[in-house]
Amino acid sequence: MSSKYYFINRTFVLICCFLLIVNSALYFIFVKDINTIIRRLIKEEKSLREEMEITYSKSSEAEELESNLQKANEEQEHFYNHILGTKEERLLKIMEEIDSLAYRYNLAKSDISFSNKKLEKKNIIQFDIVFPLKGRYSDIRNFINEIEGSSNFLIINRIELISIDIDYINLNVHLQTYFSMPS
């Protein structure tokens, strides 16, 4: 009987060893590969998350740029339509302001000349106004301060001194403004 038990035990041990070898082989074939795949997937996930964060950041920046561009376009449209306006809308107001300021500060103004040129790329007209002005220094200084603060978008291009008397200064004032081109 002992040999019978020995044979059964030996067979049992051989079957267990065989199953252990098959189990080990299956582990190395499938489970180890699964661990490798899992590690690779974890690395890919990390890489994709980083890429997604960069893309999200770029998307946020793009949305902010788009918002800023839209605001700039709205401001530009407001500038062209309300600040510049058309020549027909603003020229009379500008001339009234210049006459009113000259009268207020007792300045002699005459012979206003105009010139304009179309700025193609910007679709606006550059309008130049030149006139002689005669008066006391303090009055001329006040006139210039008022022009610089004008709501009519007037730019003092240059001032040419013609002559100086004891009490009066003669000069030419060169103003510039811009108008939107009518559509």
pLDDT at 104: 92
Q: pLDDT band at 8, cuts 50/70/90?
A: low
Residue boundaries of the structural domains of the chain: 1-84, 85-180
Cβ neighbours for 101, distance < 8 A, ≥ 6 positions apart: 107, 143, 146, 147
pLDDT value at 174 more than 90: yes
pLDDT at 112: 86
Give the Cα separation of 146 and 123 in Å (integer): 28
Higher per-residue confidence, 34 vs 50: 50
Give the Cα separation of 146 and 154 in Å (integer): 10
Which stretch of 28-37, 61-70, 137-146, 155-164 has the lowest confidence by average pLDDT?
28-37
Cβ neighbours for 85, distance < 8 A, ≥ 6 positions apart: 179, 180
Higher per-residue confidence, 77 vs 46: 46
pLDDT digits (tens, 9 = 90+) for 109-162: 888 888 888 877 777 888 899 999 999 999 999 999 999 998 888 889 999 988
- CATH number of this structure's domain 85-180, picked from the four choices 3.40.640.10, 3.40.50.970, 3.30.70.60, 3.30.70.2340: 3.30.70.60
pLDDT at 158: 92
Give the Cα separation of 183 and 181 in Å (integer): 6
pLDDT at 146: 92
pLDDT at 1: 47
pLDDT at 171: 92
Which stretch of 81-90, 102-111, 154-163 has the lowest confidence by average pLDDT?
81-90
Question: How high is the mean pLDDT of the chain?
Answer: 84
Q: pLDDT band at 71, cuts 50/70/90?
A: very high
pLDDT value at 5 more than 60: no
